[in-house]
Amino acid sequence: MPYISIHSRDFHYTHSPAPADRPALVFVHGAGGCAADWPYQWQQTGILPSPGEPRWLTDYPRYFLDLPGHGRSQPPARASVDGYAADVMAFIAALKIRRAVIVGHSMGGAIALTVGLLKPANLAGLVILGSGPSMPVSDAILDGLRGNFAQTVGLIMKFSWRKEARPLYREVATQHMRAAGAEVVHGDFAACNAFDVRDQLGEIDVLPTLVVGSTSDRMMPLAQSEALAAGIPGAQLGVIEDGGHFMMTEKTNEVGAALLGFLRGIG
């Protein structure tokens, strides 16, 4: 699994190659998460790309990044969404990705939006999952992450997954967040709480954008995704029925199909 040095620290990522003439997907995980939060099917490298028109996400080059201080990437973590956005742009530039579509989940969606506002020339599109134009976090969570980390992670996971979700999914996501540690997770949620681009969405007017929300997301309700899509000129809105906050894991095929339809549209 490769590493690359960016801003004097080692970033870990995985790469699944595909035809280079297609835009590359750069997946950015959420608060306290890591690259392994994305569905395994999307990360497989053993599936040969389909001939001709793409039929699945494996037909596109894919990069799954551990943000600094998360997963296997070198600490420290960043204190703001802006800081993470600078890292993602540097990652894309360092790997010489000519056309990148950033796929961001939750805090990763906020990071993607921030990159979109900066409009780097190598950005080909945005996909925002379970995020919004602002991401307010309750004092109970912010204080709890400092005072009772394990219990508060349990509370976050309770609201992130539907009761019908496979217990293994919740357990793995819980392990990832606990491994990040109290300082990193609190910093991420504080960064989300400070994030607010409601007055700037109209500036994301030159990029194809897909916003995906779920009817059963209790962390970032569907209304947030709807407001985000309404504020970005030309944005598409995809609605996933009965998926929790980790909709890409609970409803992998449905979310993947929405992404694939969007990608076909941008070429």
pLDDT 10s digits, 98-125: 999 999 999 999 999 999 999 999 999 9
The amino acid at residue 157 is M
Residue-averaged pLDDT of the chain: 93
For residues 126 and 82, what is the distance between their CA atoms, to the nearest angstrom? 16
Q: What integer pLDDT is reported at residue 58 of this predicted model?
A: 84
Residue 43's pLDDT is: 75
The pLDDT of residue 56:
83
Confirm if 161 and 169 have CB atoms less than 8 A apart. yes
DSSP codes, 122-189? TEEEEEEES--SB----HHHHHHHHH-HHHHHHHHHHHHS-TTS-HHHHHHHHHHHHHH-HHHHHHHH
Tens digits of residue pLDDT in 231-257: 999 999 999 999 999 999 999 999 999
- Please give the distance of CA 72 from its chain centroid, rounded to a whole number: 17
pLDDT at residue 46 greater than cutoff 70? no
Quote the percentage of the chain above a pLDDT of 90: 85
pLDDT at 19 over 90: no
Each residue's pLDDT tens digit, 2-11: 999 998 889 9
Q: Give ∠ CA 112-117-120 in degrees, rounded to 5.
A: 85
- pTM for the full model? 0.95
| Strands (DSSP E) found in the chain | 3-6, 9-16, 24-28, 62-65, 100-105, 123-129, 209-214, 236-240
Q: From CA 156, how far away is CA 178, in angstroms rounded?
A: 11
pLDDT at position 222 is 97
Token pair listed for 199: 């007055």
Which of 95, 96, 135, 94 has its CA nearest to residue 112?
135
**Dihedral (Cα; 173, 176, 181, 184), 10-degree rounding:** -90
Beta bridge partners of 95: none
